[in-house]
Amino acid sequence: MISGWFGENGELFFEIELIASKGEIFPVEVMLDTGFTAGYLAINFQDMEALDWPLVRSKFKLATARGDALFDLYEGRVIIDGQESIVPVHVGEELPEILIGSQWLDRMQLVVNKPIGILTLETVSNEA
């Protein structure tokens, strides 16, 4: 189980780890975006440089809260709740936060009780 925290505007934040192609591990703060239903992870192009993940698909259109945007799809390695996973990573421009998408909720339980400050994600299934 990983504990998260609430942002100033009620955002849901967690810390996960990104594993670069050469094995370096980078702890990062991510925001859970339940409106990001198309994937597991979305990051800015600028943040991708150090990770050097393999490109899967280039320049495809995806609907976002700000309208349609172009993304590249990479194969990324992450550690969340102590488990390493290989997931598709949407990489685009003008992403102010690293986002984790609602597809994580297919295999993780989200517990939110804002009045008493509880915010957790816990693995309930090992399926990718």
Q: Indicate which CATH number applies to the domain containing 97.
A: 2.40.70.10
Within a domain: 47: yes
List, for residues 68-108, the tens digit of each pLDDT value: 778 899 999 999 999 999 999 999 988 889 999 999 999 99
Q: Are 110 and 120 in contact (CB under 8 A)?
A: yes
Q: Which residues pair with 108 in a beta bridge?
A: 123
Nearest Cα to 53, choosing from 71, 67, 72?
A: 72
Look up the domain containing 105 and give its range: 2-123
List b or e across 99-119, with b for residues whose CB sees 16 or more CB atoms inside 10 angstroms.
bbbbbbeebbebeeeeeeeeb
Within a domain: 128: no
List, for residues 16-49, the tens digit of each pLDDT value: 999 999 999 999 999 999 888 888 999 999 888 8
Q: What is the pLDDT of residue 68?
A: 77
Q: What is the pLDDT of residue 20?
A: 96
pLDDT at 65 > cutoff 90: no
Question: The tokens 């693995």 sit on which residue?
Answer: 123
The residue type at 125:
S
